[in-house]
Structure 1
Amino acid sequence: MRAGAAAGHRGHFHETAFYGSDEEFLAVVAPFFTEGLAAGEPIVSAFAPHNQSIVRSVFGGCAGILFADADAHYASPVTAIRRYGGLLADYVAAGATQVRLAGDVPHPGVGVPWDWWGRYEAAVNRVWDDFPVWGLCPYDTRTTPDDVLDEVRRTHPRIVTTAGQHHANPDFEPIEDFLRGRAWSWRDPVEDTEPLACLTDPAPAAVRATVVATATAAGVQAFEVRGMTLAATEAVTNAIVHGAPPVEVRVWAASGRIVVAVTDHGPGLSDPLAGMRPTGAATGGLGLWVAHQVCAFVSMQHRDGAFTVRLVAGRPHP
């Protein structure tokens, strides 16, 4: 039996909370953990160092809480989905009837681009719906930008207040509506300069050669060059097979960083979860999933009849 506000709920019970002080953070998180411990439910705490230290100051080395490395857990959305998914499967196999997850999702206020994390927050409503999971995503209003807070409200079906009240979120949107109405248009500042290379309807081999030469000259680390080469090849192949011509590839670079934008003039994605989990090769989803794993950042936008996949190797600009 599931306990607390999630009692009787099937699948992912996904909540957010907004706080403006350490005291308000604890007012949200402490009851969530305390109630779970009393019910004998597994708990995963994946907060950034400051918030993790607050939790530890209250709960210490409590055996019922797994203190996860937030940097490793939230290295990318697909990493978070894979790591959490593995933990959920293990806990359920061991007999858990509810698992509680709480953590700090990265955003520009902590120096990380938001675009794919917004998609992540929307996607996990479905990705984890086969598990009895209660996910809590608190956001600090002192550091989180307003446009991010707006998307947080649109991607969480439920909200818990610092007074402990749990209620349905009237601003929540299913993932299709969220992505369709999304105004987010992340661009790396280097895109305000002239591209170092522009290719039209290129062969994948030409794209690979351009990426390797540009990234190497920019001082991008070798393993990241290999990842970008694979991702750019997948993106171009998807554009050729599933998109519409012309296919345009633009490449920019700065010290230790390369940005590749692949644009076609097709309808874009049909699967809202593309890139977040492996999907059929027939839709191009497998290539996007690969790109999400090997790049430092990926964004996807459909605008004015053009679909663009942006890939970053090196440290992405927030």
Structure 2
Amino acid sequence: MRTGAAYGHVGYFHETAFYGSDDDYRSVVVPFVDEGVAACEPVVVACRDANERLIRDAVADPSGVVFLPGGDQYDRPTEAILGYRKLFAEYAGAAQIRVVGDVPHPGVGAAWDWWARYEAAVNEVFDEYPLWGLCPYDLRTTPARVLADVVRTHPWTAGTDGSHLPNARYRSSWALPSSGPTAYEAGRPVVELTDPTPAQARRAVTAACGGARLGRDEVDDIVYAASEAVTNAHSHGRPPVRLRAWTGPAHVLVAVTDRGEGPTSPLAGLVPTDRTATAGVGLWLTHRTCRDVTMSRDAEGYTIRLLTTA
């Protein structure tokens, strides 16, 4: 039988909380952990070091908690999904699993776009488990645009007063965000092609990588990702397909734009799929190897941006 606010719930009870002080953080997280341990439920903490210390110092029985090593152990959403699914499978038969974790965002130095998609995607990805996930966000460091995405992707909200309420601002639907050029796109691109074949994309991006101090693996990753993006644009988008690339001393950014709508699900690229012949595993592998993958839609159409760094 499930306990606490998730009593009677089926599937993933996905909850967020907002805090502005260490005391506020403890007021939300410590009861969540203590009640789970008291109920003999698996309780997992995946937080950055400072928040882990707050929890360890305040909970009644830290020996009953699984502390994952470092809140940033998963540097990509794909790895977080894979890792958590493996962990949850180990708790087969548990009435409820509790997880509290820090999700990376620009306030702690991480790219947000794919983590915003992660917060939307896990509502479906983790729904097969009797999971109660708590995602607290620090109001002192979290940018406003991140907070806006958070409230749209969490069906439930925990309060510092002990409340657990349905989130009226949650939206079960998802759409690609709009975004302008990134800081990496200053100046003229070193590569600009219209309707390239995948082979032409590979050759052009390989040449562009010569201007950056990248290892062989990083070059192979961005070349593969560019080829996959062009293939997907030709197969699922609308012409013209435009490839651009910018380089710096230690990075390469590739942007592929087409006039199509782009993905309609936040799961795109975060989990492998065999629903299509060309846009499933390749996009997932791209998300696993690039330093950052951003997908957006604007007046020019759908753009996927692929970043690799030394």
Q: TM-score, normalised by structure 2?
A: 0.94
Change (3 A) 1:305 1:258: closer
1:246: which partner in 2?
240
Q: Is the 8 A contact 2:72 2:104 kept in 1?
A: no
Shift of 1:310: 0.6
Shift of 1:266: 2.0
Shift of 1:188: 2.5
Q: How many angstroms apart in 1 are the aligned matches of 2:267 and 2:121?
A: 6
1:22-101 alignment to 2 at 5 Å? 22-59=22-59, 62-70=62-70, 72-92=72-92, 95-101=93-99
- 1:179 matched to 2:198? The reply is no
Shift of 1:186: 6.0
Which amino acid is 2:38 matched to? A
- 1:231 matched to 2:225? The reply is yes
Shift of 1:216: 3.8
- 1:307 matched to 2:272? The reply is no
Shift of 1:123: 0.7
1:259-274 alignment to 2 at 5 Å? 259-274=253-268
Greater shift, 3-12 or 254-263, is seen at 254-263
Tell me the SS of whatever aligns to 1:237.
helix
Change (3 A) 1:206 1:254: same
Which amino acid is 1:43 matched to? V
Q: Is the 8 A contact 2:17 2:135 kept in 1?
A: yes
Work out which of the residue numbers 199, 210, 215 in structure 1 matches 2:209.
215
Change (3 A) 1:90 1:186: farther
Q: Is the 8 A contact 1:265 1:307 kept in 2?
A: yes
Shift of 1:290: 1.4
Shift of 1:97: 1.2
Tell me the SS of whatever aligns to 1:63.
helix
- 1:295 matched to 2:293? The reply is no
- 1:205 matched to 2:203? The reply is no
Shift of 1:192: 2.5
- 1:279 matched to 2:273? The reply is yes
Q: How many angstroms apart in 1 are the aligned matches of 2:23 and 2:49?
A: 16
Q: Is the 8 A contact 1:42 1:100 kept in 2?
A: yes
Q: How many angstroms apart in 1 are the aligned matches of 2:70 and 2:180?
A: 24
Work out which of the residue numbers 147, 153, 173 in structure 2 matches 1:155.
153
Shift of 1:240: 1.3
Q: Is the 8 A contact 1:221 1:256 kept in 2?
A: no
Which amino acid is 1:134 matched to? W
Which amino acid is 2:152 matched to? R
- 1:127 matched to 2:122? The reply is no
Tell me the SS of whatever aligns to 2:53.
helix
Cα deviation code 1:135-163 (max 9, x no counterpart): 00000000001111111111100000111
Shift of 1:223: 1.8
RMSD between aligned alpha carbons? 1.8
Work out which of the residue numbers 121, 138, 141 in structure 1 matches 2:139.
141
Shift of 1:48: 0.9
Q: How many angstroms apart in 2 are the aligned matches of 1:254 and 1:305?
A: 25
Shift of 1:229: 1.6
Shift of 1:283: 6.2
Shift of 1:215: 2.4
More helix by share: 1
Q: Matched residues, percent identical? A: 48
Shift of 1:291: 1.0
Greater shift, 6-15 or 41-50, is seen at 41-50
Q: Is the 8 A contact 1:228 1:295 kept in 2?
A: yes
Q: How many angstroms apart in 1 are the aligned matches of 2:258 and 2:309?
A: 24
Change (3 A) 1:285 1:111: same
Q: Is the 8 A contact 2:120 2:266 kept in 1?
A: no
Shift of 1:294: 0.9
Structure 2: where are the runs of 5+ without partners?
none
